[in-house]
Amino acid sequence: MPDHITVPLLDLKPQYQALKPEIDAAIQAVVDSQYFILGPTVSDFEAKCAQYCNTPHALGCASGSDALLLALMAVVPGVPKIDGQVICPSYTFFATGGAISRLGLTPVYADIDPVTYNMCPEHVAELAEQCDNLVAILPVHLYGQACDLDAILALGEQHGVPVIEDAAQAIGTRDAQGEMVGTRGAVGTWSFFPSKNLGGFGDAGLCSTSDPDVAERLRIDRVHGMEPKYYHKQIGVNSRLDALQAAVLSVKLDHLESWHEARQRNAAFYDKAFAAAGAVDSRTPIAEGGFPLRTPYANPAPARHIYNQYVIRVPEGMRDELRAHLGERKIGSEIYYPVPLHMQECFADLGYAPEDLPESLLASRETIALPIYPDLTQEQLEHVADTIVTWVGERAAVGA
């Protein structure tokens, strides 16, 4: 075993070292200007981001979680004073469901497609029929792969409700039409949490929209609903993108495409190494047997997966043991997500049983994310793949 190799789940230090002169200069320029909240550095970044995402309006805010709150406030009339339902996936980061509840709305959790881990449109259709006051649909583009946006937008239209795209993990992801995600729904929401493909030096987020009225509402709501200064027609929040984050993100945005490509190369390396051992992709259920590992299925071009996470699937009984084994070999991994939202204690009053969303439950027990960041070396990639192939192969032979 090559003892000298460690592979963290994510290591951002090489990225910073490579860009240090540019980033340090951008930070210093903000410090020199002493203009820290919104202002020209933020507007420049918003314009650059709008161009990258192919959207007319991009409004920075304090986090991806706040972006969700602002989006719901902007497109669901009457919040937080109405009682309404929002359909979203259960298998996602907490912020998706949390934002809905924080505004007094009720999350209605949909199950996922086990192939892509994204919200299943057929289940959304069923739930939408059962809702008595559906006010929005909130899909997530999980792990950096687009959900079935065509189907979900059609459902939004059919039920007369806005679709908000949680694109926190998916900047640069393209959907089945080849369109940038976050641009076809009423609002797209983004996170620049450091672990995202475009990550800041702290918390940061953004909303995108093609509707100028929605953009105006977002612009006002992120500063306490204030327009003009010290006059409030509506109650907003304090959620502004600060200039230091915008400066860092602006430098990094110029390199984002090359990082996506590196992540795709790393994913292709893993795919090939696991396939050589007999693994197939997630279109074949793990219960069907064969080598007990499923690689992530990526929708074909013009769709584009940006691999914010590279998530494999192994049988439930093996997952936690594999994670422990990787830890012993100094290989980082993570479980996204061990407890789907419909099973979270804070949502117990919604009355879900774990089995109500069987695919979400199963994914929470069988999936594990591997290191995929752009700066991984060939040696590190090989170490991860070899370690997994050997362990899964041995474990399968023992279990057989």
Q: Which residues bind ligand PLP (CB under 6 A)?
A: 63-65, 92-93, 95-96, 140, 166, 168-169, 191, 193, 203, 205
Shortest distance in whole angstroms from residue 66 CB to ligand PLP = 7
DSSP 299: P
Report, in this order, helix, strand and coil percent for the chain, each rounded to 5. Answer: 45, 15, 40
Shortest distance in whole angstroms from residue 343 CB to ligand PLP = 17
Shortest distance in whole angstroms from residue 275 CB to ligand PLP = 28
| Beta strands in 272-359, from DSSP E residues, in sequence order | 280-281, 294-295, 310-313
Contacts of 233 (CB under 8 A, 6+ apart): 225, 227
What is the distance between the alpha carbons of residues 236 and 239, in angstroms, rounded to a whole number?
9
Shortest distance in whole angstroms from residue 223 CB to ligand PLP = 19
Shortest distance in whole angstroms from residue 119 CB to ligand PLP = 11
Closer to ligand PLP by Cβ: residue 163 or 273: 163
Closer to ligand PLP by Cβ: residue 199 or 315: 199
Closer to ligand PLP by Cβ: residue 94 or 269: 94
Closer to ligand PLP by Cβ: residue 181 or 247: 181
Q: Which residue is nearest to ligand PLP (CB)?
A: 64
Closer to ligand PLP by Cβ: residue 79 or 99: 99
Q: Which long-range contacts (C-beta less than 8 Å, at least 24 apart) are formed by 328-333?
A: 329/1, 329/383, 329/387, 330/5, 330/6, 330/7, 331/6, 331/7, 331/370, 331/371, 331/383, 331/384, 331/387, 332/7, 332/8, 332/9, 332/10, 332/371, 333/9, 333/368, 333/369, 333/370, 333/371
Shortest distance in whole angstroms from residue 308 CB to ligand PLP = 8
What is the distance between the alpha carbons of residues 399 and 277, in angstroms, rounded to a whole number?
17
Give me the sheet containing 134-137, strands edge to edge. Answer: 106-110, 85-89, 134-137
Closer to ligand PLP by Cβ: residue 166 or 366: 166
Shortest distance in whole angstroms from residue 247 CB to ligand PLP = 18
CB 76 within 8 A of CB 84: yes
Closer to ligand PLP by Cβ: residue 169 or 387: 169
CB 175 within 8 A of CB 184: yes
